[in-house]
């Protein structure tokens, strides 16, 4: 298998590395944050804006796109890239996370501090078997079946550059037995089925060009070191083009970092590592220090819609509430370090006003800023790894030495 992932530089003190992921729609320089375009749009932003603010790759959600407008419609319109006018790399997830959130949503949301996405869902909307997951559409109540093969087939039709294996997501509070059984009897078997199905369409990758679609496996095992190691070693031995860290990442940031620490050493160095669904400022830095290459999260646009701007201020947990009355006459940009369009041209006072007046442009400006903020962060983090100054970068942002 040719190297779709190339390491450009490694930090000598940590596991941080700068690399390049090659895809059919261009290369991605890592570490990278990928903005999430859940439904075929990075909410409120144009593709040009994302690109102009260092955006290299975006993530689309198979579950949502499957239900509306449907993967077949998107395929008929020329695939997701053409449909949404994004000609750079796209990664789609498998739909698993959303489908299992229908069952375990309340718990996952509680842990992650999120509100449920679908008001009144009931566990009986979903039925899980060894074959896959039967679920009802939140749009019209119709019944749908996701199996590993079906998820890959849908992702083939959407046409993303990187697609993910269909996995089972145990509830967060699942203990060792449940997590181990889920991993052994479901997720690992399902990932093998995804790989087999994928290889029927794309023969093993050879030659200098990246594959039309790359398939990433997902390492599971919850918070349990032996399970994480087993999963990482097994999936690392299979011909996946890259690997994600998925499943339960623990209840706290500290536990998440432990999970990464217990997993990364058993993942192959020569493949990209994607930590699924993580995008807080400190998590991007801590994750990179621990050997993660790719991150994604809806948080920058979600925070933007709710009037929270990311700022380079550790004391404030990197967040500024733009509806705070203290900003009423504040002539400063959202963040002095940021170089985004919003921070170049608009004051906190104006943005505060837009949110008070419930003007859509406020959502747009803060969403753009938040996405740009994380992209500048990962870009500068990469540069520091190449320059050999990553631990300085780490200390400057987090206020403590690495290690």
Residues that bind its own copies (CB under 8 A): 39-41, 43-46, 64, 68-69, 73, 76-77, 83-85, 328-329, 331, 341, 345-347, 349-350, 353-354, 356-357, 359-361, 363-364
99: tokens are: 């489908």
The answer to whether residue 87 is catalytic is no
Q: How far apart are the C-alpha atoms of 61 and 94, rounded to whole Å?
A: 8
- Minimal distance in Å, beta carbon 256 to its own copies? 30
Task: State which residue, 67 or 214, has the beta carbon closest to its own copies.
Answer: 67
The answer to whether residue 226 is catalytic is no
User: DSSP 3-state assignment of 313?
Assistant: coil
Give the bridge partners for 21, in sequence order.
5, 28
- Minimal distance in Å, beta carbon 85 to its own copies? 4
Alpha-carbon 257 to chain mean position:
16
Give the bridge partners for 146, in sequence order.
133
Contact 345, 250 (CB under 8 A): no
User: DSSP 3-state assignment of 242?
Assistant: strand
240: tokens are: 């996946």
The structure tokens 């290459």 sit at 293
Q: At what angle do helices 281-289 and 253-263 cross, to 10 degrees?
A: 20
Task: State which residue, 70 or 388, has the beta carbon closest to its own copies.
Answer: 70
- Structure-derived torsion over alpha carbons of residues 55, 61, 67, 73, reported in degrees to the nearest 10: 50
Say which of 11, 280, 293, 296 is annotated catalytic: 296
Task: State which residue, 83 or 240, has the beta carbon closest to its own copies.
Answer: 83
What kind and span of H or E run contains 214? strand 214-219
102: tokens are: 């229908």
Say which of 93, 167, 241, 280 is annotated catalytic: 93
Q: How far apart are the C-alpha atoms of 7 and 17, rounded to whole Å?
A: 7
Q: How far apart are the C-alpha atoms of 311 and 289, rounded to whole Å?
A: 21
- Active site residues per annotation: 93, 296
């Amino acid at each position: 298998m040719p190297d779709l992932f190339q390491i450009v530089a490694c930090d000598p003190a940590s596991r941080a590395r700068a690399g390049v992921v090659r895809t059919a729609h261009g290369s991605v320089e890592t570490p990278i944050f990928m903005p999430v375009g859940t439904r075929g749009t990075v909410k409120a932003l144009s593709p040009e804006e994302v690109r102009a603010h260092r955006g290299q790759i975006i993530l689309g959600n198979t579950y949502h796109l499957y239900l509306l407008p449907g993967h077949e419609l998107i395929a008929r319109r020329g695939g997701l890239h053409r449909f949404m006018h994004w000609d750079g790399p796209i990664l789609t997830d498998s739909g698993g996370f959303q489908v299992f959130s229908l069952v375990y949503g309340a718990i996952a949301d509680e842990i992650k501090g999120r509100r449920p996405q679908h008001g009144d869902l009931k566990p009986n909307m979903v039925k899980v078997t060894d074959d896959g997951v039967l679920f009802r559409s939140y749009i019209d109540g119709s019944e749908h079946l996701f199996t590993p093969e079906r998820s890959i087939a849908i992702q083939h039709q959407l046409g993303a550059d990187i697609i993910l294996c269909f996995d089972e997501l145990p509830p967060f509070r699942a203990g060792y037995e449940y997590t181990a059984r889920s991993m052994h009897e479901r997720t690992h078997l399902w990932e093998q089925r995804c790989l087999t199905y994928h290889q029927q369409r794309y023969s093993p990758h050879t030659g200098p060009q990246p594959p039309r679609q790359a398939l990433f496996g997902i390492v599971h095992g919850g918070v349990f070191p032996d399970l994480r190691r087993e999963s990482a070693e097994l999936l690392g031995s299979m011909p996946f083009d890259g690997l994600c860290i998925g499943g339960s990442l623990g209840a706290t940031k500290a536990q998440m970092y432990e999970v990464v620490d217990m997993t990364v050493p058993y993942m192959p160095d020569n493949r990209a590592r994607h930590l699924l669904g993580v995008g807080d400022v400190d998590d991007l830095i801590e994750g990179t220090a621990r050997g993660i290459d790719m991150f994604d999260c809806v948080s920058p646009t979600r925070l933007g819609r709710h009037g929270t701007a990311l700022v380079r201020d550790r004391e404030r947990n990197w967040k500024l509430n733009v509806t705070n009355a203290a900003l009423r006459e504040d002539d400063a940009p959202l963040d002095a370090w940021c170089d985004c369009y919003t921070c170049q041209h608009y004051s906190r006072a104006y943005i505060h006003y837009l949110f008070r007046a419930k003007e859509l442009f406020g959502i747009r400006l803060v969403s753009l800023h938040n996405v740009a903020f994380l992209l500048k962060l990962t870009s500068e983090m990469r540069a520091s790894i190449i320059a050999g100054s990553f631990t300085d970068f780490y200390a400057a942002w987090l206020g403590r030495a690495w290690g």
